[in-house]
Structure 1
Amino acid sequence: MGIVNIDDDLHDQIRKASAVSCRSINAQAAFWIRIGMLCEMNPTLSFNEIATRELKAAGVVAKSFKAALA
């Protein structure tokens, strides 16, 4: 594990996003780094497509809203 130096404005944005996402500041930064890396490696995929693939790879099974509400 290493140290990543970021400017104060970016750190403030990570802090704000982490509160909304219910993640720690470090977890939010790691999430953005991972998604950014996956986006660069898969430039033809949308964020939603990448997130869906990651969730499926983790074994998450999403139900439709109709099924979830019933």
Structure 2
Amino acid sequence: MGIVKIEDGLHEDIRKASTVMCRSINAQAEFWIRVGMLAETNPTQTFNEIIARQLKDADLELSDFAAA
């Protein structure tokens, strides 16, 4: 575990997003970091494709949550 220095405005954005997404502030920051890393290493994929791949890797399918 380490300490990451971020500017106050970004911290406030993370705090607000974490409330909406029902995550802790740390979990929200980790999510954004992870998605950002995946986006940089997979520049042709959309956000939705990145998330779908992560769900698939966790043995979850988006169709499991789709309305009938």
- Radius of gyration: which is bigger? 1
Whole-Å separation in 1 of the counterparts to 2:62 and 2:26:
26
TM-align CA RMSD: 0.8
Q: What residue identity is the alignment partner of 2:7?
A: D
Whole-Å separation in 1 of the counterparts to 2:62 and 2:52:
9
Q: Superposition pairs for residues 1-70 of structure 1, below 5 Å?
A: 1-63=1-63, 64-65=66-67, 67=68
Structure 2: gaps spanning 5 or more residues: none
User: Segments of 4+ in structure 1 off by > 4 A?
Assistant: none
TM (norm. structure 2) is: 0.92
Stretch of structure 1 that moved more, 56-65 or 44-53? 56-65
TM (norm. structure 1) is: 0.90
Q: Kindly, what percent of the aligned residue pairs are identical? A: 64
Whole-Å separation in 2 of the counterparts to 1:18 and 1:62:
22
Whole-Å separation in 2 of the counterparts to 1:52 and 1:61:
8
Structure 1: gaps spanning 5 or more residues: none
SS of residue in 2 equivalent to 1:32 = helix
